A and B are shown apart, each in its own frame.
Chain A
Amino acid sequence: MPDQLIPEYIQYWLAGGWGKFFRVFWYFAIFEFTRYIIIDYIIAFIHWVKREDYDDRYKAGRQALFSENPLISIIIPGKNEGRHLYKLTKSLEEQTYQNFELIIVDDGSDDDTPIIGQNLEKLGLIDKFIRNEVRGGKASAANLALQYATGKFIVHLDADCSFDRDAIARVVIPFYYDEKIGAVGGNVKVRNYQESLCSSLQAIEYLKTVSVGRIVTSTLGIYKIVSGAFGAFRPEILDKIGGWDIGPGLDGDITVKIRKCG
């Protein structure tokens, strides 16, 4: 009778024993467990040990940013993103760092995006709204925005994201740590993770690959993707490499190219 209460798949593994479990999942135990669990904990431990150094460095970087107060160009390429634009501008209005220009490229939208964008530009909520009649892809739209960006740093965002109040400041502060830093990847999280099973699973994946994964790879010096949803770049580096290349995998490509530049 108690056997009937235990789910069948657990009974299966209980019957098979640890030997069978290890034979089936040996790659997880050797590679994945090492890669995702052990290294993560080691890095987390290093972070904890060095937390005061990190804090001091962050404070110095923040002070440098706010004393210099450079213009930051926020570029947002997108198609049919009109409905997100107003919310996005409001989210950016709340930022602790305010000296930025907002350039939005409408990449051949076939909805009301051009009307919304042009109205927001008239209202002064967007600094430059550029409309492409023909869709050219995300890379070309980002490159077009780059043409008209005049800021000291370029922040690339997705229109359907919303941002913490200090997100823009935080993503550009690392440029003040070291002049050799050419790009900074932001931490992207799923805000509506409680909405559905899919969004919950996506949140777990983002936590693993973006939040934790990229902190780990960054600490190890092997950071390989500056997310298009939230990333910052030095414009001179982007000029040198000619901006984004045609996708897919354009975020990874540009990161690798920046790393190759030294």
Chain B
Amino acid sequence: MLELAKSKKEGRRSLRLDGLHILYFYHHSDVKREDTNHADAIVVQTDSEFEALETLREVRSDSSRTISLKPVFVSSYTNCGENIRLLFDGTWTEEHPENQLQFIRKITGSLKNLNTEVHELDFRRALSQRICQYLYSRVTTLQPIRTRYVNTGYAYSFISSIFKSSEGLKAIDLLDEMHQDGYLDGQRNEIIQSCNHCSGGYFNYRECCPSCGSPDLQSSDLIHHFVCAHVGPEDTFKKDDRLECPKCDKELRHIGIDYDKPSSMYTCRSCRHQFQNATVKALCVDCGKDNELSMLHTRSIKTYSITAKGEYLAKFGYKGEPAQKTEENSSILNPEIYKLFRKQELLKRQTGSSSPLFEAELTILANVVDRFHVERRKMLQREICSILTHYLEPTDLICSENPYSYTILICNSDTKRAHLTSDVINNNISRLLADGLDIKDQTVKLKLTDISDSNDNA
């Protein structure tokens, strides 16, 4: 029944089973060295966990679809950690390979239907298509798997090979984007919180002093002596093994009859601040930065399944779809175009236009923006731009390169109106940030300059 054709050359072995060509890899360099295109499946055969992982990564992240989507097995004696399990299709036993062979035939059959012409696509689009092809060929779903190897604490099979362990959130972003585009369906399983600075998902939650932030706290119960109404920390009542009221010198014997403990107080050993409600902060294990709980980045962890649109993408590619998403903020100019318009407006003033020209520099202080996760910073930028467009005239121009700074060109307003507009913008954005972030200090700086007579055309 089995047609066996073993060939050994520098540790390589290929196998023909039931008309299928199985290629054996012993080392990750074999992936590049061998001609894998004609193999129907790959078996990673090594007892080294590291070697197995590297080989699987090489296969799965190969730029050629015909290689990266191939069925990959790991020999039964390989020590498989959870990170390896994410990348292979199953374990391989030569004694009873019937199930695996059936599986290989199914996948190779599906792969024949797929469009593998991807050279003109950008990385994200190519990867999206590859994910759809993986799901289509395996007739499976992408399920989140709890793992310590990825910084978010969750990994997905197949795509874990493409992203680094520190890029767990990027993988989630990509899948969510595919969900939004209709290629995948998502069903929420979990919610994770990630660090604002590095997207890490491992935290040390601890109670800190609201005044100085130190976690070196001492908690003490308060005792209320019923008879004399004296209330104080438990320490002040302790006399040897007994409790004695420092006010009336009576011994406190029975809780509920002589005294009770109405509450407790923390004392910070660093700054001696006393308080009842400690601030809980999340210290990121990866980057060591402290995060306020309200500022942690919350994301949904979902199980993704392919949709009809995703299947179409897997089979036929991006036919009829625009190559790039259009920029959402069409009213926001990039610096080059802004400079061009500014120059034109200045020239108009020099050749007789009577209305003054104002330029406003709006700066959001770094300590405000840095509190947000990178993704949220983009949202903040969009939000601020939409506020600006709301208060400005349609003829005014806005330029913003980053969430920290915005340049506004006020073209057709008199001096009074320009100042009024800048005040309104300043007040509204300051209030938005101060109220939303619970910040008492200044959050925004806005400087308005009359540039009508400026010779600076840069």
A residues at B contact (CB < 8 Å): 108, 118, 121-124, 128-137, 139-141, 143-144, 147-148, 242-246
Contact = CB atoms under 8 A, between A and B. Distances in A.
A143 B275 contact: no
5 contacts: A108-B262, A122-B438, A129-B276, A130-B263, A133-B262
A69 B448 CA distance: 40
A246 B229 CA distance: 5
A223 to B, nearest CB: 23
Contact of A118 (B265, B277, B438): B277
Interface string B166-197: 00000000000000000000000000000000
B403 to A, nearest CB: 26
Contacts of A122: 438
B229 A124 contact: no
A131 B229 contact: no
B244 to A, nearest CB: 14
A130 B224 contact: no
B277 A137 contact: no
Interface in B238-271: 247-248, 260, 262-263, 265
Interface string B414-452: 000000000000000000000000101000000000000
Given A124-B440, A129-B276, A243 B230 contact: yes
**Which of A129, A139, A147 counts the most chain B CB atoms within 10 A?**
A147
Contact of B224 (A121, A131, A136): A136
B279 to A, nearest CB: 9
Contact of A134 (B247, B262, B277): B262
Closest 5 CB pairs of A and B: A139-B229, A132-B262, A242-B247, A144-B231, A140-B229
Given A140-B231, A147-B232, A147-B233, A243 B262 contact: no
B198 interface: no
B229 A136 contact: yes
Interface residues of B, number: 22
Q: Is the interface of B mostly helix, strand, loop or mixed?
A: loop
A143 B229 CA distance: 7
A148 B232 CA distance: 9
B227 interface: yes
B440 A242 contact: no
A124 B211 CA distance: 11
B443 to A, nearest CB: 16
A206 to B, nearest CB: 27
B118 interface: no
A50 to B, nearest CB: 39
A244 B232 CA distance: 13
B280 interface: no
B277 A143 contact: no
Given A143-B230, A246-B228, 15 more contacts: A118-B277, A121-B277, A131-B263, A132-B262, A134-B224, A134-B262, A136-B262, A137-B229, A141-B231, A143-B231, A144-B232, A148-B265, A242-B247, A245-B229, A246-B227
B17 interface: no
A139 B227 CA distance: 11
A141 B232 CA distance: 11
Contacts of A118: 277
B231 A242 contact: no
Contacts of B440: 124
Contacts of A243: 229-230, 247
A131 B222 CA distance: 11
A145 B253 CA distance: 25
Nearest to B222: A144
A143 B248 CA distance: 14
Nearest to A242: B247
B164 to A, nearest CB: 39
Nearest to B260: A134
Nearest to B273: A128
A125 to B, nearest CB: 11
**Which of A121, A131, A137, A144 counts the most chain B CB atoms within 10 A?**
A144
A148 B274 contact: yes
A167 to B, nearest CB: 26
Contacts of A132: 222, 224, 262-263
A147 B226 CA distance: 16
A131 to B, nearest CB: 6
Given A118-B277, A122-B438, A147-B232, A140 B224 contact: yes
A202 to B, nearest CB: 28
Nearest to B438: A122
Nearest to B245: A242
**Which of B229, B248, B275, B276 counts the most chain A CB atoms within 10 A?**
B229
Contacts of B263: 130-133
Nearest to A108: B262
A144 B247 CA distance: 13
Contacts of B227: 246
A121 B275 CA distance: 10
A30 B247 CA distance: 45
Contacts of A242: 228, 230, 247-248
A130 B266 CA distance: 11
A195 B275 CA distance: 40
A246 B245 CA distance: 14
Contacts of A128: 274-275
Contacts of A245: 228-229
**Which of B227, B231, B265 counts the most chain A CB atoms within 10 A?**
B231
Contacts of B231: 136, 140-141, 143-144, 147
Contacts of B277: 118, 121
A238 to B, nearest CB: 11
Nearest to A118: B277
Contacts of B226: 136, 246
B441 to A, nearest CB: 11
Contacts of A143: 229-232
Contacts of A130: 263, 265, 276
Contacts of A147: 231-233
B338 to A, nearest CB: 39
A137 B227 CA distance: 11
Contact of A131 (B228, B247, B248, B276): B276
A245 B274 CA distance: 25
Interface string B94-112: 0000000000000000000
Interface string B347-361: 000000000000000
